Amino acid sequence: MTGVLYVVATPIGNLEDWSPRAVATLKAVSVIAAEDTRHSGRLMQHFAIGTRLIAVHDHNEGAKVESLLADLQEGRDIALISDAGTPLISDPGYRLVAAAQQAGLRVVPIPGACAAITALSAAGIPSDRFVFEGFLPARSAARSERLRELAGETRTLIFYEAPHRVQECLQDMATVLGNERRVALGRELTKTFETIRQLPLGEMLAWVSSDADQQRGEIVLILEGASAEAGEQDWREADRVLALLLAELPVKQAAGLAAGITGLKKNALYERALQLKA
Ligand code: SAM
């Protein structure tokens, strides 16, 4: 019998959110692979979980995978946890889970908190279709570039953001996407100073800039997607620009220039240019 790899979510703040199944699983396994053993040690102590912890984080996960797989092959159960929330969601664990799946081992999720889903559930921004973008680039130029790439995305967008960058991130969002797009800020979710507020980007920026408390703690941003109508308008404009450029230039060059002019993706414009040419 081979062992089972349990992927166990931990609380994102409020310890009462943790499920009895998660606690029982961590008590029963042979070893817990934790992102930070000191941090998780406190949680284990609180819940009287005596299982041995070993460190598996971004810097050593690749090197640890082989020995953890060997443990599983020899029949030992392992639990994977991260500092908070669901492992693999902007957290380590992907390489271990992928390797276990590829080796045909059983991987069992023990679900629980995830900041992205927790924020989405209370944001009042459409939740039927959404994209998780994790952390945006830390530097403004790269962040704005990524936001431009995402400008036409009609699904709701979910971002994690560091508190010391939230103001400049909202500033870049407002600059690239306009003041009117709605955004929800979910801060310190499930904790004492939990704040969830939804406003147009321009007003959110003004509020966060004027209140230093909103630039503290842990933050999720839930951004309304582009309206489908705006997306259509963008493409009508792109077709017009492409048609003009294609009259003078080869497809590749026309698509590159059109991307610079419209902010739409070069690959998508290249495909569109080929259709227009046909
Ligand atoms: N794996 C975690 C999850 O399932 O949500 C996310 C880990 S990621 C390294 C940490 C980021 O998640 C924080 O910087 C913040 O953006 C978000 N986050 C975690 N806990 C949060 C909370 N209680 N309130 C708001 N955001 C939180």
pLDDT tens digit sequence for 100-135: 999 999 999 999 999 999 999 999 999 999 999 999
Which among 59, 90, 113 is the end of a domain? 113
Residues 8 and 109 in one domain: yes
What is the C-alpha to C-alpha distance for residues 170 and 252, in angstroms, rounded to an integer? 34
Residues 81 and 154 in one domain: no
CATH, residue 37? 3.40.1010.10
Q: Identify whether the C-beta of residue 77 lies closer than 8 Å to the C-beta of residue 24.
A: no
Handedness of CA 109, 113, 116, 121 (dihedral sign): positive
The pTM of this model reads 0.86
Which among 113, 137, 168 is the end of a domain? 113
Coil, helix or strand at residue 31: strand
Q: What is the pLDDT of residue 230?
A: 67
Q: What is the pLDDT of residue 88?
A: 98
Give the Å distance between the CA of 187 and the centre of ligand 1: 9
Average pLDDT, stretch 216-220? Answer: 98
Structurally, the chain folds into a number of domains equal to 3
**Is pLDDT at 231 greater than 80 in this prediction?**
no
Domain extent for 137: 116-226
Residues 107 and 25 in one domain: yes
Give the Å distance between the CA of 115 and the centre of ligand 1: 5
Q: Identify whether the C-beta of residue 39 lies closer than 8 Å to the C-beta of residue 94.
A: no
Nearest Cα residue to 85 out of 109, 108, 111, 59: 111
Nearest Cα residue to 220 out of 119, 98, 145: 119
Give the Å distance between the CA of 275 and the centre of ligand 1: 43
Which among 58, 84, 113 is the end of a domain? 113
Ligand 1 first shell, C-beta below 6 A: 12-13, 82, 84-86, 89-91, 114-116, 160-161, 186-191, 218-220
Residues 102 and 67 in one domain: yes
264 confidence band (pLDDT: 50, 70, 90):
confident
